[in-house]
Amino acid sequence: MSRVSLAIAVLLSAALLGACKPTASAPPAAAVAAAPVVATPLPQGTGCGPSIARTQAVVDSDVATGNLNPPVGERFSADLRHAADACAGGREREALGLLGAAKARYGYR
């Protein structure tokens, strides 16, 4: 490669690299603020009541942060209310089964 060809290649490369720079009108990535995350303690304890309450707290948080679509969150919450009703009626096995089915349906563990 001759000196002239090399010089042209270097100039062309520099021009192409200059074209990749962001423009002044584009906001810097750091300027985009994320929504504040508020950590709330999850309900403690064992049994169907606390388990359902913990899942509901996660669903509420996911809807609030935009990680779960509100209509899907409402359907999930309705399923959790059925589980909570069974739990309140003393049917823990049924309540935990309904909880497990709801979590599996919506992709939660």
Model confidence over 14-35: pLDDT tens digits?
554 455 555 555 555 554 455 5
pTM exceeds 0.95 for this model: no
- H or E stretch including 58? helix 48-64
Spatial CA neighbour of 37 closest among 53, 61, 21, 20: 61
| Cα torsion 90, 96, 99, 101: sign | negative
pLDDT of residue 43: 83
pLDDT of residue 2: 53
Lowest-confidence pick of 6-10, 83-87, 100-104: 6-10
Task: Give the model confidence (pLDDT) of 90-103 as tens digits.
Answer: 999 999 999 999 99
Across the chain, mean pLDDT equals: 80
User: How many other C-beta atoms lie within 10 A of the C-beta of residue 58?
Assistant: 16
pLDDT of residue 83: 98
Task: Give the model confidence (pLDDT) of 57-69 as tens digits.
Answer: 999 999 999 999 9
Does the pLDDT value for residue 5 go beyond 70? Answer: no
Q: How far apart are CA 99 and CA 91, in angstroms?
A: 12
Check residues 12 and 98 and name the one with the higher pLDDT.
Answer: 98
